[in-house]
Structure 1
Amino acid sequence: MTKLFTTTALIAALAMPAFAAKPGEGETLAENQTLNFWILDAFKSLDPQLTSSRTDSDMIRQLFEGLLNEDETGAMVPGVAESWEVSDDGLTYTFNLRDAKWSNGEPVTAGDFVYAWRRAVNPETGSEYAWFMELMNIANAAEIIKGDVAPEELGVTALDDKTLQVQLIKPTPYFLKTLSHSTTYPVPQSVVEAEGDGWTQPGKMVGNGAYVLKSHDLGVEAVAVKNDEYWDAENTILDEVKFITVNDQNIGLTRYLAGEIDWMNTLPAGRLPQMQAEYPDEAISAPWACSYGYLFNLSDKGPEALKDLRVRQALSYAIDRDIIVDRVLQGGQRPAYNWTHWAMEGYEIPEVDWADWSQAERMEKAKELLAEAGYGPDNPLNLTIQYNTSEDHKKLAIAVQQFWKAIGVNVTLNNYEWKVHIDRLNNQDFEVARYAWCGDYNEASTFLDYFRSGGYNQGKWENADYDKLLAEAATAEDPNVLYRQAEEIWGQELPMAPVYHYAMAQMIKPDIRGVPLENVMSAWYAKDMYRVAE
């Protein structure tokens, strides 16, 4: 049997209580403990193992709880797992579960995690995030996803109702950071099997989070109310959380200013300076671990022109990121000439030579490259940019259309609702697509793994050296060195035209406390928030 040990750092972590809402000295709680949160798109799925959406995950995080949570700075803190031990070889994790309950009063057991994790990797489930379990390096995950091994062979075992053991195939420094991700949340087997696809509907859903789903009017509003069965319910102050869908950000801001929305975490492009001047206590910008760009379809279904590196370079060079960041967005974002967000823990962005060129130099080089590739007035390059419904995405797509027109590329714009946009990406039914990736945990690999051959990778770029570096990084003493080398390969190949690194320009009502502005992952828990009397 593997010898278990606890490091000094781990002892400290285990001694920490789970983060909870706690009014500060001199603060008086408001009578109204409801939070109205704005979302741009309707939920695609509230099933932890089926979702791939950031918006979905924000709600799922209120309804379910995994082994670990994140505190206000993004540090990992106990969730359902009260403590854990790691074997000497770093391959075996043993989690000791607290006395937690489902919203129907039944106990949450290690077997619930085993069921959920097997469900995530089972090809029959059709999880878009099955690859995430492979990324966690859980034993047999890759083989199960490919259909070569039965889900029951996944390296996760319930030693008893309160003890969960996870077997990895190699030491994984970021493993604990993955455990606050919704794909790893437990789900109640009896409910899922009894209700089928309808198990996430109000009145049927059973969760183990601080809130339960009360109502859901798709594309309009979803309401979650306090779960009295939650293990830390006595420290949960907000009674109700409403997710209000407003597809137009300008209308969303209008509703915020009218008092109908309390927290709008993505302001319309260009509005932050005005809001900071008029509402200095409410308008805030904070780094957010997401990167935005235009993804090239390099699959067999993609246009032949994009398979030419010179074309991809030309399209990347022609985008004037300073105009986009300084004139269009104006929300604290930074121009991106690479993929991984600059704020990821321990990561240094590699040098990119064309980042230091003037925009005029980039445009001149872009024209040269297109001409070398055989495109010009007599043979213009025609491309279609796909984006999902949003006034900001539209503005940026129009701007890029003009940037590319200036180098002789004709662009058609296609707008789709979010669900259709994602489905088309997943099926490689696009040429160039607006895309953004938000990190799943605070390490560079969460970005770089997207482009791994077996990653989510909707543009289907492949590079064996890139894959090898990511594989080696998993056991490296300093993985960030290998991450930079992988990103250098990415920068040489440009499977996407990077545009900007996110900052979250947002409006928050001044009586709300506990919004985790120092967490670059922007993972928030309503249970850690409260309202004070004004």
Structure 2
Amino acid sequence: MTRLTRLTLTTFLSAGLAASAVAQETHPETGDTLAADQTFTYRILDNISSIDPQIVEDTDGSDVVRDLFEGLLNQDENGELVPGVATDWEVSDDKMTYTFHLRDDAKWSNGDPVTAGDFVYAWRRAADPATASPYQWFISLMSLENGDAVVAGGMAPEELGVEAIDDTTLEVRLTSPLPYFPQMVVHSTTFPSPQSVIEEHGSAWTSPENFVGNGAYVLTEMNPGESIVREKNDQYWDAENVILDKSVALIINDENVALTRYRAGELDMTDIPAGQFPRLRDEYGEEAHSFPKLCNYYYTFNLSESGPEAFKDPNVRKALALAVDRDIIVNNVMAGGQPPAYVFTPEATAGFNAPETEMAGMTQAERDAKAKELLAEAGFGEDNPLSFDMVYNTSEAHQKVAVVLSQMWKQKLGVEAQLSNMEWKVFLEERGNQNFELARGAWCGDYNEASTFLDLLQSDSGYNDGKYSNAEYDQLLEDALTAEDTAPLYTRAEEILAADMPVIPLYHYAGVYMIDDSLKNFPVNNIQFNWYSKDLYKAAE
């Protein structure tokens, strides 16, 4: 067995550092004078999908869930793994068995101990078709023993390759050695769940009056359309080192309204509206942030039986992709440092070598000419214009991008695209049920490896909303699970996507935020943008 012990050091180095922070009114490491009010208030766009770790499927919801629950491992400000409930782990020589050692002082917010059995219950729950987890497919991606069969309903959840050896020892058995497996247990799907609470309250277990979690905070308010409030959990094993008392997410659909409230001092953090970063950077200096994020922005074609017949022709899809001037979108519309995208996987992804696609090597004039040629070959033109509906979730930025896309297609190709927007939960449902023709999509990596993006377009992926299917593509990703060198496989996969064009990549994300100078330790260097309120604090101004 190979013993990995570096995680344990972090635990001891941080122990006791903040115990006297309140008494001293200074931060124990930086020496900053602490603000009297340790409340972090920030803006989110929509109601989140859930605070159930096995149900949540959006990034804003995952931010909340990371406060309310703690998994085996966390990430630090640079995205490196640090202890969570697990203090360290062992991995077998064949890389197929992981043994996680859990701290014995982890507790649920009701005072009950957190045990290895709570993780077993949660992972089985995520895999069980009866749970209907939107992230059920993540269990398959983890290559857990019997995971595919359990997810498909062919085996009982009890057959999943995860076992509590005792209360503080969790054994995980894989079918393929995944070098990035420890990164995967940072994801909310793998967080523990309180079995007795769920069995007592059913779906109502996540309401504030019933809620029990094991994170640094507990849920105290859930006001649909208004706010989500979590407050410090005194049962958390490291509560004495948690400085922020309260974390408040305000649901504000209008980005400009949110910016106004930031200017008024009502928010500590908010998204910068599309196109306004240069002006705000000039006005506010380093309060205006732009940094790389492990996310992509795209539009997906409905290639299922319910999708438009026109989209079955790859020439039509390529024509629409070619006619998009991405430089206008990133420089004039977004203007926040987002790089244009000609491949699906962000180039910042660890170990990823992006192929030189034909489209990327063309001038925009060449792309436009090729687009007209391809659309004509497909039978569309002035006498037979292509028309379709395109949908996006409600947001000023998404609306601006959609309008620009429709204008480009109209002016260059004579295409008629009818735009409509939907609220977040409705949008997710309609897209997941293939009730669309062309729909906005975006994905933030669940771990820093190309498969977190490429797996979305596998034939059987739970998030393959366009129902794209290519046998060679599927096989490449299957082969990558056991390949010593995945780079050529992933590069070839991107080449297939460039030829088939099941999605239109537009840009790769940048984190574009206003962050008040008093808010400290926000992890702008974590490319996955996984942040934890327990690591933040507010300095006195």
Identify whether the pair has TM-score above 0.5, normalized to the shorter chain.
Answer: yes
**2:359 aligned with 1:365:** no
Corresponding position of 1:355: 360
Q: Are the equivalent residues in 1 in contact too, given 2:5–2:89 (CA < 8 A)? A: no
- Counterparts of 1:246-257 in structure 2, within 5 Å, are 246-257=252-263
State the secondary structure of the residue aligned to 1:335. Answer: coil
Q: Are the equivalent residues in 1 in contact too, given 2:7–2:87 (CA < 8 A)? A: no
Corresponding position of 1:180: 186
Offset at residue 28 of structure 1 (A): 1.3
- Write the letter of the residue equivalent to 2:11: P
Alignment match of 2:231 (pick from 222, 225, 228): 225
- Counterparts of 1:64-79 in structure 2, within 5 Å, are 64-79=69-84
**2:53 aligned with 1:48:** yes
Listed as ranges, the gaps of 5+ residues in structure 1 are: none
Q: Are the equivalent residues in 2 in contact too, given 1:18–1:79 (CA < 8 A)? A: no
Corresponding position of 2:96: 91
Alignment match of 2:268 (pick from 262, 265, 279): 262
Corresponding position of 1:27: 32
- Counterparts of 1:435-474 in structure 2, within 5 Å, are 435-455=441-461, 456-474=463-481
Q: Are the equivalent residues in 1 in contact too, given 2:229–2:247 (CA < 8 A)? A: yes
Corresponding position of 1:5: 2
Offset at residue 43 of structure 1 (A): 1.5
**2:339 aligned with 1:334:** yes
Offset at residue 377 of structure 1 (A): 1.2
Offset at residue 155 of structure 1 (A): 0.4
Q: Which runs of 4+ in 1 moved over 2 A?
A: 10-26
How many angstroms apart in 2 are the aligned matches of 1:52 and 1:306?
27
Listed as ranges, the gaps of 5+ residues in structure 2 are: 19-26
Deviations 1:130-158 (A, max 9, x none): 00011000011111111111111000000
How many angstroms apart in 2 are the aligned matches of 1:73 and 1:475?
28
How many angstroms apart in 2 are the aligned matches of 1:458 and 1:505?
27
Offset at residue 26 of structure 1 (A): 3.8
Offset at residue 203 of structure 1 (A): 1.8
Q: Are the equivalent residues in 1 in contact too, given 2:256–2:273 (CA < 8 A)? A: yes
Q: TM-score with structure 1 length normalisation?
A: 0.97
Q: Are the equivalent residues in 2 in contact too, given 1:317–1:362 (CA < 8 A)? A: yes
Deviations 1:281-331 (A, max 9, x none): 310100011110110011111111111010000000011100000001000
- Write the letter of the residue equivalent to 1:523: N
Q: Are the equivalent residues in 1 in contact too, given 2:201–2:210 (CA < 8 A)? A: yes
How many angstroms apart in 1 are the aligned matches of 2:366 and 2:272?
32
How many angstroms apart in 1 are the aligned matches of 2:467 and 2:170?
36
How many angstroms apart in 1 are the aligned matches of 2:174 and 2:30?
45
Alignment match of 1:434 (pick from 437, 440, 443): 440
Deviations 1:164-189 (A, max 9, x none): 10110111111111111000000100
State the secondary structure of the residue aligned to 1:82. Answer: strand
How many angstroms apart in 2 are the aligned matches of 1:346 and 1:511?
36
How many angstroms apart in 1 are the aligned matches of 2:66 and 2:10?
21
Q: TM-score with structure 2 length normalisation?
A: 0.96
How many angstroms apart in 2 are the aligned matches of 1:345 and 1:235?
32
Q: Are the equivalent residues in 1 in contact too, given 2:43–2:269 (CA < 8 A)? A: yes
Corresponding position of 1:415: 421
How many angstroms apart in 2 are the aligned matches of 1:492 and 1:70?
37
Q: Are the equivalent residues in 1 in contact too, given 2:392–2:421 (CA < 8 A)? A: yes
Deviations 1:33-90 (A, max 9, x none): 1100110011221111011111110100000000010110111111001111001111
- Write the letter of the residue equivalent to 2:482: T
- Counterparts of 1:23-422 in structure 2, within 5 Å, are 23-99=28-104, 100-264=106-270, 266-406=271-411, 407-422=413-428
- Write the letter of the residue equivalent to 2:460: G
- Write the letter of the residue equivalent to 1:179: V
Q: Are the equivalent residues in 1 in contact too, given 2:344–2:453 (CA < 8 A)? A: yes
Tell me the percent identity: 54
State the secondary structure of the residue aligned to 1:268. Answer: coil
How many angstroms apart in 2 are the aligned matches of 1:23 and 1:395?
45
Deviations 1:354-377 (A, max 9, x none): 112111111111010000001111
State the secondary structure of the residue aligned to 2:441. Answer: strand
Offset at residue 500 of structure 1 (A): 0.4
State the secondary structure of the residue aligned to 2:459. Answer: coil
State the secondary structure of the residue aligned to 2:5. Answer: helix
Q: Are the equivalent residues in 2 in contact too, given 1:216–1:223 (CA < 8 A)? A: yes
Q: Bigger shift: 177-186 or 481-490? A: 481-490
Judging changes above 3 Å, is the alpha-carbon distance between structure 1 residues 149 and 25 closer, same or farther for their aligned structure 2 residues? closer
Deviations 1:474-514 (A, max 9, x none): 12222223211211111111110110000011000101111
Q: Are the equivalent residues in 2 in contact too, given 1:67–1:81 (CA < 8 A)? A: yes
State the secondary structure of the residue aligned to 2:11. Answer: coil
How many angstroms apart in 1 are the aligned matches of 2:31 and 2:429?
50
How many angstroms apart in 1 are the aligned matches of 2:409 and 2:389?
11
Judging changes above 3 Å, is the alpha-carbon distance between structure 1 residues 19 and 76 closer, same or farther for their aligned structure 2 residues? farther
How many angstroms apart in 2 are the aligned matches of 1:25 and 1:204?
38
- Write the letter of the residue equivalent to 2:216: A
Offset at residue 24 of structure 1 (A): 4.1
How many angstroms apart in 2 are the aligned matches of 1:160 and 1:214?
32
Offset at residue 19 of structure 1 (A): 9.0
